[in-house]
Every structure is written in structure tokens, then in C-alpha cells.
Homo-oligomer: A and B are copies of this chain.
Amino acid sequence: MRFLGVRLLDVGDGWVETELAITDQLRQQHGFAHAGVVASLADHTAGAAATTAVGEGASVVTADYTIHLLRPGTGEILRSRGEIVRAGNSLIVSGSDVWADGSHCARYTGTMAVVDRPV
């Protein structure tokens, strides 16, 4: 996620919290965070939550996700919380929400495949 600049705020078993500063290059023509940026943050955060459930040397890759874009990504900072919905041995379902300026702007649910080596 280096191309966006996501910061990890906090992490526990099965969950993480992140934030992302909305720099000018991440805004669309009306000044909101681009939908692709909101989705990337949501995917990254849900994936990081899923990673807390896999062992040393394993990682996860997103097989599919669904995102509902609820409001424009206004303001200066996006925050996100990701949380595992169900961790199986080979598949993990993980969800996340994104807030912009304190308003709920996206809900994400993804299916992640556990892979044996870091991705």
C-alpha cells in the first residue's frame, strides 16, 4: 500500500484500525477522495485484519470483495476499521468500514485466500 500511504493505528486479534491522509493526488475532480482510494483503503484494512489470524510465514490475498459507497470521501483524513467475520483454514471472510470526517462512507466485505508465503 506504499502508493497510497496507509498508516496502521492499532491492531488486535482479528481487527485493525488504519488511516490515510487524502493528499491532492488522491482526490477526484470535485475534491473528494477517489472511490478507488476508499476501496483500496477498505481492502487493505480488511486484509490486515485477516492477516492477524494466519500463522508465521503465511499471508492472505483477496479473492473477491464487495463495497458499498455510502457518502463522498470528504475532508482530510480517511479512517478505517477492519474485522474478521469468519476465519477458516483456507478462506477468511473479513469486513471493514471507512469514515471520512467522522461520517460512514463505505462498507466492505471480502473473501481472502490464505497462502503459504508472504504476498
Contacts and interface: CB of A to CB of B under 8 A. Distances in A.
A26 interface: yes
A66 B64 contact: yes
B64 A86 contact: no
Q: How many copies does the complex hold?
A: 4
Could you say which interface size class chain A belongs to? Answer: 35 or more
Interface in A105-119: 107, 109, 111, 113, 119
Nearest to A114: B90
Contact of A71 (B4, B86, B119): B86
Contacts of A66: 64-66, 109
29 contacts: A3-B26, A4-B36, A34-B40, A35-B43, A35-B62, A36-B37, A36-B39, A36-B40, A36-B43, A63-B68, A63-B91, A64-B66, A64-B68, A64-B93, A66-B66, A68-B93, A70-B85, A70-B86, A71-B86, A85-B104, A85-B107, A86-B104, A86-B107, A90-B113, A91-B113, A93-B107, A95-B107, A107-B109, A109-B109
